[in-house]
Amino acid sequence: MKKAISSASPDPEAAAPGVTYKVPAGEKTLDVIEYMAYTATPQTKSEIAAGVGKSIQEIYRIIQLLVGRGYLISGDNEDRYSLSMKLFSLVHTMPAVRSLSAASVGPMRRLVAAASQSCHLGVLWGNELMVVSQLNSPLNMSYAVALGARFPAHETSSGLVLLAGLPPDHLARALSRMEQALHPDESIAVVRRLVDEVRHTGHDVRPSLMVPGIVNISYPVRGLHGETIAALTVPYLGIKRSTLSVEATAAATSQAADDISLAMGCPASVLGLP
């Protein structure tokens, strides 16, 4: 019989640094969650199994567990499953995200009122940008992204601002992971060049890489130690006689990002403020 492990008699393997243990059931569960996160349409058990490279027998109980815990939902068609918003809700219960959302409400409202443009706040989520706060323009004609939306970081101004704000070693790892996921017609060299451009300017103002006709205006939001913790972005849609110019909107966005940063404890000196 295997000897019980106690604090008085620690397992030497458990104490060894860098030891990685296999947890097959846990890995399969995470495989299903990650696969469903990238899937646009509801999936059958067979499709989920094929998507994660497992048999139905291997994932059947995992799917039942995730349904029971509220991570997967079947909707009206009990044969097909989608990822619920539970993960997104959990993210928003994190103190850091709650604090960021609370600090951003006032500045974002002032920005929307001044520029008559929608705006959103995004954070890095792996290789993606995830929108954690969003306000719509008051105009009848506007452009906005959905709360909780996720996009490839390298295809968004918000993502480029966040990547540019990473420490060099973190950026190197992020770009290495990203390179493995790029489409054949995309180049990591182009991504590096865009990140370098944003690091040089400290913000990003450019025609959207994803939506023709939109100009993205994105500025970093900084934390207690001056680190980039989020990106505040206006997807600028020019409407005659109804909106500020791109330049004036950029200035208003920069001010709003500074206001959020100050509320998050960033020293004024880091922002170049008196």
Spell out the per-residue pLDDT of the chain, length 274, in tens: 433 443 343 443 444 444 456 788 888 888 888 888 767 678 888 999 988 899 988 888 998 888 888 888 886 666 888 877 666 666 655 556 667 888 899 999 999 999 999 999 999 888 889 998 999 999 988 899 998 888 999 999 999 999 999 999 889 988 988 888 888 889 999 999 999 999 999 999 999 989 999 999 999 999 888 999 999 999 999 887 777 899 999 999 999 999 999 998 899 999 998 8
112 SS3 class: helix
CATH number of 12-84: 1.10.10.10
**Degrees to nearest 5, angle at CA 250 with 126 and 211:** 55
- 255 touches 272 (CB < 8 A): no
Q: Which residues contact 182 (CB under 8 A, 6 or more apart)?
A: 154, 188, 191
> What residue ranges in 94-127 does DSSP mark as E strands?
119-125
pLDDT value for 27 = 86
Look up residue 232 and give its two tokens.
């505040």
Q: Match 């330049």 to its residue by tokens.
A: 247
DSSP 8-state assignment for residue 43:
B
pLDDT value for 4 = 41
pTM of the model: 0.69
Q: How many residues belong to the chain?
A: 274
**Single-letter amino acid, residue 2:** K
Look up residue 270 and give its two tokens.
């880091």
pLDDT value for 71 = 80
Domain ranges for the chain, please list them: 12-84, 90-271
Look up residue 130 and give its two tokens.
């995830």
CB-based burial of residue 201 (10 Å sphere; 0-12 exposed, 13-18 middle, 19+ buried)? exposed
CB-based burial of residue 15 (10 Å sphere; 0-12 exposed, 13-18 middle, 19+ buried)? exposed
pLDDT value for 97 = 64
How far apart, in whole angstroms, are the C-alpha atoms of residue 198 and residue 61?
A: 46
How far apart, in whole angstroms, are the C-alpha atoms of residue 260 and residue 101?
A: 9
134 SS3 class: strand
237 SS3 class: coil
Look up residue 132 and give its two tokens.
């954690």
Cα dist. 168→127, 156, 174 in Å?
A: 16, 20, 10
Look up residue 17 and give its two tokens.
């640094």
Listed residue (24, 55, 53, 52) closest to 39, CA to CA? 52
Pick the CATH number of 90-271 from 3.40.50.1000, 1.10.490.20, 3.30.450.40, 2.60.120.10: 3.30.450.40
How far apart, in whole angstroms, are the C-alpha atoms of residue 113 and residue 125?
A: 29
